[in-house]
Each structure stands twice: as structure tokens, then as C-alpha cells.
Structure 1
Amino acid sequence: MRKRFAEGSPIASTVITGDDFDELEHTFQAFLAPDTVKLHTPAPTGFFDISQLSGLRTPGIDPNGLSVYELTLDSDVVLEGEETPDAYTVIVTMNGRNQITLGQEIVPSRHVVTGPETRFRTRFEHPDILLLRVGKRLVADAMRERLGETPTSTLHFDPAVVETSGMGQWITLLHTFSETAASGLFDRSPLAAAHFEKLLLHGLLDTQPHSLSGDLAGERPRPKSAAVRRAMIHCEEHATDPVSIGELAMVAGVSVRALQLAFRTELGLTPMEYLRRVRLDYVHQDLLAIAQGRAEGTVTDVALRWGFTHLGRFSGFYRQTYGKLPSETARLTA
């Protein structure tokens, strides 16, 4: 159902509406990587409506911002394309059905998250959808704010949104945000809109699993000592190498005992636990790439690449960090 906006709202408005599906394809090219977009309508009848509820006043993506749109299709549509390099999109299906394929894998969920440069193919069947678009730079800034330091890698969300109690509440929050934006309240209170957007962003980071979830689960203050920072950087730059505690102490310029104490005090971890966390983060990213068709290999290949030779212990560490087995992330068997 088409959204009813408060009269004269400068924020909530119609982006495009009608029954010209060539025009709809052109609009999607403004949101996505243009050369990749293809729109097929098995029966090009009915109408469509894309409404902007918050954020940009023109289609596209602001790497520093957040935008919400509602898409209504009174038709069956197949959309193929690729996400831009600087955006994430959360697709929440309110009514109708869709089938979304990322890479070569069908995502078994009504709600899906895509990430930068993710290739997708979606079949929509008369859907009513909320789209949350988040800039890559905004996500990186939020993680830096949370962790006290710049993430060493790009964040990758698990594509399937599972409606656990946390994500169910977040989806309800997105609905409330869209209704409030349409009412015109955010026009009168930009500060309220900014606070709501921040709540949406951090709620997504906390409830939808991603490659840096392990870091957020044990959010830690920024390390104050130069010795700990030097050791952390060495772990991140040499994650594929056989790093020892003695080597880390030498790089840090302190004794082994002093380094262990500093890590415990500042991070709540031992140096080798931190190294394992870094390696698990790289493993998680590689498994997501396999699941999305951006890379090939098996769980065993990835584990060995990042120095995990005991596969049983590796699976235990991975499940403890990400709440699932590595094969569940990659949709492969080891």
C-alpha cells in the first residue's frame, strides 16, 4: 500500500510511481552499480511505487548517511544487479514474497542484508518492502566509535536476517521509523531523526551477525599503551604467520610478562587470544565470500590458511565467537 505523507513534507516523498517498467529499471540504476542492473517483468502489468521516507532527496547512496525507502510492486519482477562499493542495504519484506540469490546461493530468508559490491538476483512477487540504505563510511565510523579504533577490515553482514527476538524488535523499530518519517515529525525535529537513525544503525550492528561481531561482543577501551598497539598491529599484519608470544613482546619492546599484563589490563585478553580473534575475523570474511560466490574453497582450506590446524578446536572457537559452525556460514562441508 502506498505510503501517505504529511502534506508539504520535504523529507518523505515519492521517488517514482507508475507503470513504466523501463523507467523503474532506470531508477534502480541510480541506486545500484548502473552497468549491472537488469529488470525483467514476466507480465509487465500493474504499478510500482518507490517512496523516500528519510535521507537523500535523490536516489543513490551517501557514504556518510542513512536512507529509508518503501517499494511497492503490484507485479512480478526479477531484478539483477550489484550493490555499489559504498553501501549496505537491508531488505525487509512486509507483504508478498521474494527470492534473493547472492552470488550463486539462494538466501533462505524473507529479510536480507547485502554489502558493498554484492551481486544479487531477486524475484519479487507483488511485494511491499522497506529498504534501509546505509553508507559504508557511516558503518566504519560507528565501529570506530564503538571500538575506539579504526577497524582493520571491511565489515560484512551475514546475508540472511533471522527473526530472533533481537532482530524482530529491530524490524519493528524500522517500521516505527518509517511511519514517523511519513508523519512529518522528523521535518519538525531533525535532532529526533538523527537520534533515531543512530538507534537503527547501532541496533543493526548489535543484532545482525557480521564479521566484526566478535569485537563488539567484547567491546574494549582503546589500548592506551604504545606496546599493546604495536603488538596488535603485528598480529593483524602477520595473521597468516606463526607468531609467538616472544615475537610479540620483542615487537612491543617489553618483556613477555609485561605484555601479558598490559593486554589483560587494557583488552581483557591475552596476546595470543587477540591473535586468534584477528584470525577468526579473517576466516569469517573468507567464509562469507564463499557463501556469496565471491570466492571458492572449503572450510578446511580457509581454516588452514589462517593457521588453524586442529579443526575441532577451530570449530569450537568459531562457534563461540559467531554463534554458528563455520560450515553454516559458508554453506559448505569441511
Structure 2
Amino acid sequence: MEEIADQTRLIRRPEYRLFQTSDLDEARSRVSQVYCDHRLSSRSGKVDAFLYHMPFRGISFNYMQYGTESCIEPGYLKDFYLIQLPLQGRAHIESGGQVIESDPSRASVINPSAFTKMVWSHDCRQFTVQITKDRLERIAASCLGMPVQGALVFDTAMENGNAQHASWWRHLLSFICEYSQECSFYRNTEILETELDNIIRALLYSLNHNYTAPLLNDTQTVRPRHVRLAMDYIHGHISENLSMETLVELTGVSERRLYEGFRQFQNISPMRYVQQTRLQAVRSALQTCRDTSVTQIATEYGFTQLGRFAALYRQVYGELPSETVARR
């Protein structure tokens, strides 16, 4: 992993450094601002901690250490996935009932739904990739051709000797290298967002998870361009006012051809697909957003008739929206 260690110099720039401190409470507080609230302890009661943070929309790249043997207990990450690769040192990780020893030859993947605690060695320095649950599930749904039903769960261990895993790291490093150039084409927002989506898409095809089988099987069926265009647009604009007219104008085909394409390849009409995707987005938000009401979330995704929404939600998920909220 010398190449990854070398490329982290592009993140270790002054503009990306969030903090450096020997105060344990300050380290915990500052790290919590990037990740989530957590418990942090060390044998000495002190740390030599720093964090470099390269943020994008729904994904970030980070480089950090605590500088002393440290116990970190975030519990449930809830709304993001976290890939951690020690560039030196090691980390003992217990997550979702699995235990792995992570070092420069083995990264870890922490799922939002898995209770997690870790012990980092005194010399542990980690390169991490943080991806929000919303962005990853949006890309997964686009790849699958249907909304993600239930949690998407990765295997916890990511072996760097695996050819597919190594390919993903190379892809990621090439992006960081190019983005760091002064006149990079990634300064164009559309190109940047497309590439970040591709990084997540490549992750889904490279790592093993509970949607691997349907995802790989789905590659045997090649959807027409107009169907793929419509699906990608739906997932990227799900909170907007989507109509059949909008999709027809976007794809450049007739309403009938678009309808028939969805029926043939998705076994569903375009607007029914919009409805299913919105329902999944609402369910994901209800499971993770603690400070937002059911009404606010439903309205945000276009469900203005709340009685009809609640009935439809119950029909699909077997429970009322309020029952989903109660189980958070």
C-alpha cells in the first residue's frame, strides 16, 4: 500500500487540516463533527491527534491518527458507511458481530447498521473514505434498477490482495491525484459529480455485499439508453416534481416508447418507478433523521396527501411511517 500512503500527501495539505491537538476531549469533539458522536479513551488520557478532511457532497476522504493506543466506540454510524485503511499500525475492530484485525494489508468496511467499537494501536494512521447512506443507496438503486429494500451490508474485511479491491483503490487514487491538479477538469461540477458516482458504483461492483448477486445478475440485461437515462435522472432528482413529460423531454423518445421500455426491462411503469423510489427515500430518511417529522419528510419527497401516503407506505412495508420512526 505504498502507493496509497504516498498519495495521502495530497490530502495532507494545510487547507485540508481540521485540527491537531493533544487534548483528548477536543479530539473527540472535532472528530465527531466529521463522523458521529462517539466514546474515546486512551490509557494515558492524552492523545497526539490530527485529522485531514477532503469533503465532497455525500463522500469525503480523510487521513487521521490519535497518536496513542485508543479505544473508539461510535456504536451505530446510522447514516454513513466508513472504509478504513491503516497506512501504518493496526486496528482491532468489532463490528456487526464480526472481529477483524486491520493493518496495511486489510481495510475494514463499517456498515451504518452495525454496532462498532475499535482499538487503534499507538502508531495507527488511517486513510478513510466516508460515504453517506443516501448517496450510496441512490447509486445502488440505479445499478439494480430498483429501490434498495432493506439495509445494504458489506463484508467487514476488505483484502488489499484481492484484485478487484486493488482495482478500486487505484481508481480512487487516480481521482485524488487528478483532482489535486490546479487545472483539473474535475473543477467542472458535472464531471466531478459523475466521477464520484463512478467511484461509489465501482465500490458496489468490487466488494461483496448482500446485493452482490442481483447486481451481477442484472449486468446480463442491458437496458436501452433511454431507460437508463430516465432511471438515473429519477434517482438524482427524487425530491423534485417529476412528470412523464419531464422524462420524455429528457430521454428524447415518445411517451409510449418510454413506457414500453420500463415495462419490458423493469416490469413497472415510469411513474410507478418514481413512486417506489420516493417511498424508499422516505423510509431511509425515517430510519435515520431524528429531528424531522414524518410530515416534513413525506412532503419533501412529494407526498402531499398524507393519508394516502400512510396507506401506501403500510401496503409496501407492512407498517405505518410512525412505527418505523418508533423503532429508530
TM-score range, shorter chain: 0.5 to 0.7
Q: 1:128 to 1:186 in 2, by over 3 A?
A: farther
Partner of 1:22: 25
Mapped pair 1:177 → 2:175: yes
How many percent identity over aligned positions? 16
Tell me the SS of whatever aligns to 2:52: strand
Q: 1:42 to 1:104 in 2, by over 3 A?
A: farther
1:100/1:106 contact within 8 Å kept: yes
Tell me how far apart the structure 2 counterparts of residues 6 and 158 of structure 1 sit (CA, whole Å). Answer: 29
Tell me how far apart the structure 1 counterparts of residues 205 and 13 of structure 2 sit (CA, whole Å). Answer: 35
Partner of 1:85: 78
Tell me the SS of whatever aligns to 1:156: coil
Q: Residue 181 of structure 1: CA displacement?
A: 4.4
Partner of 1:114: 110
Tell me the SS of whatever aligns to 1:26: helix
Partner of 1:313: none
2:61/2:129 contact within 8 Å kept: yes
Partner of 2:165: 167
Tell me how far apart the structure 1 counterparts of residues 13 and 77 of structure 2 sit (CA, whole Å). Answer: 33
Q: 1:24 to 1:177 in 2, by over 3 A?
A: farther
Q: 1:172 to 1:42 in 2, by over 3 A?
A: farther
Q: 1:104 to 1:6 in 2, by over 3 A?
A: closer
Greater RCO between the two (CA within 8 Å, min separation 6)? 1
Partner of 2:142: 145
Q: Residue 210 of structure 1: CA displacement?
A: 0.5
Partner of 1:205: 204
Aligned pairs for 1:245-260 (under 5 A) are: none
Tell me the SS of whatever aligns to 1:139: helix
Tell me the SS of whatever aligns to 2:205: helix
Q: 1:7 to 1:190 in 2, by over 3 A?
A: farther
Q: 1:148 to 1:114 in 2, by over 3 A?
A: same
2:24/2:47 contact within 8 Å kept: no
Tell me how far apart the structure 2 counterparts of residues 7 and 168 of structure 1 sit (CA, whole Å). Answer: 25
Tell me how far apart the structure 2 counterparts of residues 152 and 145 of structure 1 sit (CA, whole Å). Answer: 13
2:143/2:201 contact within 8 Å kept: no
| Aligned-residue CA RMSD (Å) | 3.0
Tell me how far apart the structure 2 counterparts of residues 176 and 165 of structure 1 sit (CA, whole Å). Answer: 17
Tell me how far apart the structure 2 counterparts of residues 44 and 183 of structure 1 sit (CA, whole Å). Answer: 40
Q: Residue 194 of structure 1: CA displacement?
A: 2.1
Tell me the SS of whatever aligns to 2:32: helix
The code of the aligned residue for 2:155 comes to: D
The code of the aligned residue for 2:60 comes to: S
TM-score normalized by structure 2? 0.57
Q: 1:88 to 1:181 in 2, by over 3 A?
A: same
2:91/2:101 contact within 8 Å kept: no
The code of the aligned residue for 2:153 comes to: H
Tell me how far apart the structure 2 counterparts of residues 143 and 17 of structure 1 sit (CA, whole Å). Answer: 36
Unaligned runs of 5+ in 2: 224-263, 267-328
Q: Tell me whether 211-220 or 143-152 shows the greater mean CA deviation.
A: 143-152
The code of the aligned residue for 1:167 comes to: H
Q: 1:175 to 1:48 in 2, by over 3 A?
A: farther
Tell me the SS of whatever aligns to 1:53: strand
Mapped pair 1:99 → 2:101: no
1:55/1:66 contact within 8 Å kept: yes
1:88/1:135 contact within 8 Å kept: yes
The code of the aligned residue for 1:147 comes to: L
Tell me how far apart the structure 1 counterparts of residues 68 and 180 of structure 2 sit (CA, whole Å). Answer: 24
Q: 1:7 to 1:112 in 2, by over 3 A?
A: closer
Aligned pairs for 1:156-305 (under 5 A) are: 156-163=153-160, 164-183=162-181, 185=184, 188-219=187-218, 220=221
Q: Residue 75 of structure 1: CA displacement?
A: 2.3
Q: Residue 144 of structure 1: CA displacement?
A: 1.9
Tell me the SS of whatever aligns to 1:111: strand
Q: Tell me whether 164-173 or 75-84 shows the greater mean CA deviation.
A: 75-84
The code of the aligned residue for 1:13 comes to: Y
Aligned pairs for 1:52-71 (under 5 A) are: 52-55=53-56, 65-71=58-64
Q: Residue 266 of structure 1: CA displacement?
A: 5.5
